[in-house]
Structures are given as C-alpha cells and as structure tokens.
C-alpha cells in the first residue's frame, strides 16, 4: 500500500508530466488561455490517458512481448491511442451527449498529445505491473490537469496586466511555466 | 507553382521557423536541449522523419481517402520513426540512450503531422521535400542554439569542450526543467523583437 502511495505522489508532484518531464507542452500552452478550456482539456486527458495506459499495457505485455515484436511498439501504441480516441468520441456522442458537449473539441487534439503516448511508454519501460500502470496513468493525468489549471489561472491574471509587446502571449507563458516548474522542483527531495 | 524551390526551403529558416514562429513541437525542444549535441541529434532525427514522411504523403496524396487521411499520415510517420529508432540503436547508441523516450515521441511531434497535413498533402513531391528539409533544418538550428545557451551557462561547456576557466561556477538552473522553460521564453521574446523591426 505504501508503495502505491509513493507512486501516486511521485507521478503527480515530483515527476510531474508537464513541468518535470517536458511532455504535453503543446496543449499545456495551447489550451491554457481560458480556465474553461483548461478544465475541459484536463478532464479529457484524465479520461483518455487512463484508458490508453491500461490498453497499451495489455497490448504490450500479451501481444508485442509475447510475439517478440517489441520494435513495432511505436506504431502499435500510436494506433491504439488514435483508434481509442476515435472510439471514445463516437461512443460519447451516441451515449453521453452532455459529456461529449463538454469534452468534444478536445478529444481529437489528444491523439497528438505527447503526454498520452509518453506515459504509455514510461509504463512499459519502467516494467510496471498492471496495477502500477493503472495508478501511474491516472496520477500522471491528474498531474497534467493540476499543472494546466494552475497555469491557466496565472495566465488569465497575466493577460489583465501590461506585458511588453515582444514578451506577450507564449513568451511570457513559457517564463511563467518556468516559475511554476521551479515551485514543483522543490518536491524533488521529498521521497 | 508560384514559389520556387529555394523559397519553399528558406521559409523554414525564418518565416516559419519552428519552434519559435510556429509554436509547435515544444516538448522535444525543451527536453533534449541540455547540450548542443543532443539538440542537433534530435533535430537531425526529426528532419529525416519530416523529409521522408513529406515525400511519401505527397506521392500518395491522390490515393489516400480524405476521411481517413490523418490515420494514414500517422502510420507513415510512425513507420519512419521506427526506422530512425532502429538506425540510431545501430549507429548512435549513446545518443539513443541520451534521447531515450523522445525518439519514439517524434511520432506525436506536431510539426511533422502539421507539415504533412498543411503542405505535403497539397503539393508535388519535390516541393514537399524542400519544405520538409527547410523546416527540419530550421528546427535543428533552433535546437542547437537553445542547446548552446543552456550548455554554456549550465555546464560551462560547448559541445563537451570547456569554455570558461576552472573558476566558473556552473549555473545548473539552466540545465534543469525550469531553466528550459525560462530560456525558451526569453529566446522567443528575442526572436519577436528581431521580427517586429
């Protein structure tokens, strides 16, 4: 039980997917201008990443390693993620229209979110067990959401202030992200 | 074709210089630029994938049905990424270990898919290759420059060679994650300044 707790803390804070592992930066900067879109994107990522992490783990363990074709991992994983996103989109549209309306536009973007692919690869590289892979997928996704929502709040505030022209938008955004990253850096010594 | 080959090539070097002008492909940009060598290695690997996938997408542009084009592009890109992965394992193993997870992640680098969708799917093969090469070289140079700044300040070395005397205290902030964000942000600011003149 203690190990699982350490894994959760380490995935959310210490090895935060955006701020310490440099993954998923495009949506991090792209969808953080408004709090609303940031929350929508976070929810979509938590939803898809949990499923993708579990499914790619199963595909890798029973199919790729079983047949000795690990070199096809990149292709297999991206196919799983792309079709999963497509499938989730169709399923939500038919069955849960309310949720689809909320997540709708963010779903297609997730295919090229390297956080998803990255976590799937980390899960198999670290040789996690099934439960560990499940927990780490959820925790990394929550970490992504946390970073994104924090960042969106700061960016909304910064946009009210007066920023020198060349620094505007992405530039000041990156510097802000650097400062949040510095704050998260303090967690390094925790475990 | 209104533009010449040279124009298609050179626009990647300034007008559409990734990752500064097109704010795409940020993850590898931030992650691998701890040193000049890593930055250039990543840039060259990405360039290879860009050129090959642009060529193939362009050749197949009249065959691929519009509805499933994105899926087709992703498979083409993933194939070349696997090629790069295997080539690097064979010929550049230390660099392969250093770049690690970011080699397979070229698949989800938005620049590659972006060029396939925005350019190669509409233009002839020769132009697509020129476009891929231009964007790739621009990307490589950007990563090299960012890597140089971070390596010189953070480690006191350039391409592994000592730059300052032994009294230099390395500014380790620059080679860690926060330094990457701040450094890229400030470089973007400089490019904006230069571009707005």
Percentage of residues of chain B with pLDDT beyond 70? 98
Quick one: pLDDT at residue B2? 55
Quick one: pLDDT at residue A104? 65
B67 occurs within a structural domain: yes
Highest mean predicted confidence (pLDDT) among A103-112, B80-89, B145-154: B80-89
The Cα A163–Cα B96 span in angstroms is 40
The better pLDDT of the pair B14, A174 is held by A174
The Cα B106–Cα B50 span in angstroms is 10
Cβ A183 vs Cβ B183: under 8 Å:
no
Quick one: pLDDT at residue B139? 92
Whether the CA torsion B76, B81, B82, B84 is positive or negative: it is positive
Quick one: pLDDT at residue A50? 93
H-type helices in A59-162, by residue range? 65-67, 73-95, 97-103, 107-110, 114-125, 130-160
Q: Give this complex's ipTM.
A: 0.84
Inter-chain CB proximity A23 and B27 less than 8 Å: yes
- Which residues in chain A touch residue B181, judged by CB atoms under 8 angstroms apart? 174-175, 177-178, 181
Quick one: pLDDT at residue B86? 93
Look over chain B and give the mean of its residue pLDDT values, rounded to a whole number.
Answer: 86
B122 occurs within a structural domain: yes
The Cα B62–Cα B60 span in angstroms is 6
B72 occurs within a structural domain: yes
The better pLDDT of the pair A152, B21 is held by A152
Quick one: pLDDT at residue A36? 84
DSSP A127: T
Residues 12..41 of B with a Cβ closer than 8 Å to A: which?
23-27, 30-31
* Chain B interface includes A18 (CB < 8 A): no
Between strands B161-162 and B157-158, the pairing is antiparallel
B12 occurs within a structural domain: no
* pLDDT, mean of each 10-residue run, chain A (191 residues): 86 89 85 85 88 93 87 90 86 82 74 87 91 94 94 90 82 90 84 66
- To the nearest 10°, report the CA torsion of B80, B84, B85, B88: 170
The Cα B132–Cα B51 span in angstroms is 5
Q: How many beta-carbon contacts under 8 Å exist across A and B?
A: 120
- Which residues in chain B touch residue A168, judged by CB atoms under 8 angstroms apart? 192
The Cα B183–Cα B190 span in angstroms is 11
Domains identified in chain B, total number: 1
Q: Which residues pair with B162 in a beta bridge?
A: B157
Does residue B1 register a pLDDT over 50? no
User: If we measure between CA atoms, which residue out of A145, A129, A180 comes closest to residue A49?
Assistant: A145
Sequence-ordered list of residues with C-beta below 8 angstroms from that of A64, at least 6 positions apart, any chain: A70, A72, A73, A76
B132 burial via Cβ count (<10 Å: 0-12, 13-18, 19+): buried
Does residue B197 register a pLDDT over 60? no
Taking CA atoms, A55 is separated from A71, A120, A133, A160, B75, in Å, by 18, 9, 10, 43, 19
B16 occurs within a structural domain: no
B127 occurs within a structural domain: yes
Inter-chain CB proximity B193 and A166 less than 8 Å: yes
Residue B159 sits in which domain range? 28-191
**Cα angle vertex B33, ends A18, B82, to 5°?**
80
The Cα B59–Cα B157 span in angstroms is 44
- Which residues in chain A touch residue B193, judged by CB atoms under 8 angstroms apart? 166
Cβ B38 vs Cβ B102: under 8 Å:
no
The better pLDDT of the pair B159, B105 is held by B105
Quick one: pLDDT at residue A2? 79
Inter-chain CB proximity B108 and A112 less than 8 Å: yes
């Amino acid at each position: 039980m203690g190990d699982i707790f350490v894994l959760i803390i380490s995935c959310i804070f210490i090895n935060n997917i955006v701020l310490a592992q440099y993954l998923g930066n495009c949506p991090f900067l792209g969808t953080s201008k408004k709090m609303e879109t940031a929350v929508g994107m976070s929810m979509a990522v938590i939803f898809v990443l949990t499923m993708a992490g579990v499914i790619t783990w199963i595909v890798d363990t029973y199919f790729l390693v079983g047949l000795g074709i690990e070199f096809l991992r990149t292709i297999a994983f991206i196919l799983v993620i792309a079709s999963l996103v497509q499938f989730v989109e169709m399923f939500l549209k038919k069955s849960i229209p309310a949720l689809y309306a909320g997540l709708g536009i963010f779903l297609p973007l997730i295919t090229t979110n390297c956080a998803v692919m990255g976590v799937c690869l980390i899960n198999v590289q670290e040789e996690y067990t099934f439960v560990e892979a499940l927990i780490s997928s959820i925790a990394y996704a929550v970490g992504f959401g946390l970073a994104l929502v924090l960042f969106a709040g700061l960016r909304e505030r910064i946009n009210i202030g007066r920023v020198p022209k060349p620094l505007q938008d992405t530039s000041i955004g990156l510097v802000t992200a650097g400062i949040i990253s510095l704050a998260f850096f303090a967690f390094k010594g925790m475990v | 074709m209104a533009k010449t080959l040279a124009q298609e090539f050179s626009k990647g070097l300034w007008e559409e210089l990734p990752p500064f002008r097109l704010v795409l492909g940020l993850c590898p940009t931030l992650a691998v630029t701890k040193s000049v060598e890593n930055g250039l290695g990543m840039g060259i690997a990405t360039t290879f994938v860009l050129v090959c996938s642009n060529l193939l997408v362009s050749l197949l542009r009249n065959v691929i049905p519009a509805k499933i084009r994105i899926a087709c592009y992703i498979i083409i890109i993933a194939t070349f990424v696997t090629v790069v992965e295997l080539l690097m394992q064979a010929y550049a193993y230390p660099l392969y270990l250093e770049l690690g997870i970011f080699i397979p992640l070229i698949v989800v680098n938005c620049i590659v898919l972006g060029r396939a969708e925005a350019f190669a799917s509409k233009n002839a093969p020769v132009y697509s290759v020129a476009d891929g090469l231009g964007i790739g070289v621009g990307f490589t140079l950007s990563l090299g420059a960012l890597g140089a700044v971070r390596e010189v300040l953070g480690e006191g070395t350039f391409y592994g060679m000592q730059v300052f005397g032994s009294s230099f205290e390395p500014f380790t902030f620059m080679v860690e994650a926060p330094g990457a964000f701040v450094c890229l942000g400030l470089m973007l600011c400089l490019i904006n300044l230069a571009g707005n003149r």
